Amino acid sequence: MINLMVSGYLVAIYFYHEREQAFLSWALACGCFVVGSLILLVQYWLAMSLSIPGYMLLVFSSCLLLRGVVQLFQDDNTRMWGAGYMPVFALTALILAMAPVAGISTGGVASLMMALFFVLTERALARQQDSFIVVVVLLRVLMFVHALIMTVQGLSYLLTFETASALSGVGQWSLFSHLLLTVATALTLPMMHAIREKQEWHKRANTDVLTATLTRRGFFDLAAQKLALHGAEPCTFLMIDIDHFKPINDQYGHATGDLVLQQVAQRIQAGVRKDDLLGRLGGEEFGVLMTETTEQEANVIANRLLGQISASEFMGETQQISVTVSIGAMTQVSSKHDLEHLLRQADKALYQAKERGRNMLKFADKTA
């Protein structure tokens, strides 16, 4: 009954959440469990062996749980899972059908297969960046405990060839942990989905559509956090502006200007460290925040960027274009960094670099 209720609840969420496939997989998982359990139950009344289809559905329900978790994290793999669906189903049936032929307990094999799918689901959850959120940790622990109980159950059936009965000691534990897992899953998975959706929206709102770098607002938010974390370290801010960009737009068109902007952003991203923060602060202006970076180190990095950009050819719509940039820089060695001050000083230095002929790096005058 609990599985049936959870299944209905997940179907409702599936329709509410614009048909997010993961919810359908989890609803199906509960449905399969219910049907599988019923088949195993009625086989005794009907006095006929239906254990293979019954256990097949139970194993498949744990496979669907894994399917839902993978679908939730990788939106584009639905088709792959669609294709993988039937082979897994066929393999499950084959292994279970082989069990009686080989003289081993079908229930035992099914339990071990389910344990395997639970471990795989726990591993899939562990790989996610939000795997340490309390609710996800709880779900992972439950998956793991359930896998353990299913393993013990499987081994006990295999060793004793006992009929898989929910009334046996291990069977009761397995039923109890299954119910716990079902309820926890029903509560946790929609929450995980909501957390992910929020993170996705946040990321989208802070990403510049054209260059895929941070937007001005996203850059400021993350820069403030980074500076607060690296209070005692020297930090350098680079303000990078494309030289004579207006003539590029005027001469080759806005679409070519866009292509140049994208490629310049890629060059900058490739030229700085992974930890450095890159954002598009204005039309053709980029900002780079480099924590734990002295003026000497920043000097090397910024000059290398200047050299790489001026030596590159950028692809326009129909032609290759040479581009240079000017860089204004400011290094702050302070126990309390001031982002506004860093930006203002770097901006002044950029202005001087432009005035002195462009395609050059200028550090802010610290005495000013």
Q: Could you list the active site residues?
A: 284
The contact pattern for ligand GTP, residues 163-202, with x = CB under 6 A and - = no contact, is ----------------------------------------
Q: Binders of ligand GTP: how many residues, by CB under 6 A?
A: 16
Among the listed residues 128, 249, 334, 352, the single contact to ligand GTP using CB under 6 A? 249
Binding of ligand GTP at residue 254 (CB under 6 A)?
yes
Sequence-distant (≥ 6) Cβ neighbours of residue 278 within 8 angstroms: 213, 214, 219, 265, 268, 269, 272, 286, 287, 288
- On the 0-12 / 13-18 / 19+ scale of CB atoms within 10 A, 201 is exposed
Nearer to ligand GTP, 120 or 265 (CB): 265
Give the whole-angstrom CA distance, residue 66 versus residue 122. 9
CA angle 36, 42, 45 (to 5 degrees): 160
Closest CA to 22 of 112, 111, 124: 124
CB of 353 to ligand GTP, least distance (A): 10
Binding of ligand GTP at residue 310 (CB under 6 A)?
no
The answer to whether residues 326 and 284 touch, using CB atoms and an 8 Å cutoff, is: no
Binding of ligand GTP at residue 251 (CB under 6 A)?
no
Q: What's the CA dihedral at 106, 111, 117, 122 to 10 degrees?
A: 180
CA distances from 102 to 55, 96, 166 (A): 17, 10, 24
Give the whole-angstrom CA distance, residue 12 versus residue 2. 15
CB of 328 to ligand GTP, least distance (A): 12
CA 323 to chain centre: 35
Task: Map the footprint of ligand GTP across residues 255-274, applying CB under 6 A.
Answer: 257-258, 261
Binding segment toward ligand GTP, per CB under 6 A, in 125-133, 143-151, 174-182, 243-251: 243-251
Binding segment toward ligand GTP, per CB under 6 A, in 34-42, 167-175, 252-260, 267-275: 252-260
CB of 360 to ligand GTP, least distance (A): 12
The helix or strand, by DSSP H or E, that contains position 44, with its residue range, turns out to be helix 21-46
The answer to whether residues 63 and 92 touch, using CB atoms and an 8 Å cutoff, is: yes
Among the listed residues 138, 210, 228, 333, the single contact to ligand GTP using CB under 6 A? 210
The tokens describing 285, both together, are 């202006």
Binding of ligand GTP at residue 242 (CB under 6 A)?
yes
Task: Map the footprint of ligand GTP across residues 327-366, applying CB under 6 A.
Answer: 354, 358
Binding of ligand GTP at residue 241 (CB under 6 A)?
yes
Q: How many alpha carbons lie under 13 Å from residue 226 in its C-beta half-sphere? A: 21
The contact pattern for ligand GTP, residues 18-57, with x = CB under 6 A and - = no contact, is ----------------------------------------
CB of 284 to ligand GTP, least distance (A): 5
The contact pattern for ligand GTP, residues 277-306, with x = CB under 6 A and - = no contact, is ------xx----------------------
Binding of ligand GTP at residue 231 (CB under 6 A)?
no
Sequence-distant (≥ 6) Cβ neighbours of residue 263 within 8 angstroms: 312, 314, 315
Positions in the binding site for ligand GTP (CB under 6 A): 210, 241-246, 249, 254, 257-258, 261, 283-284, 354, 358
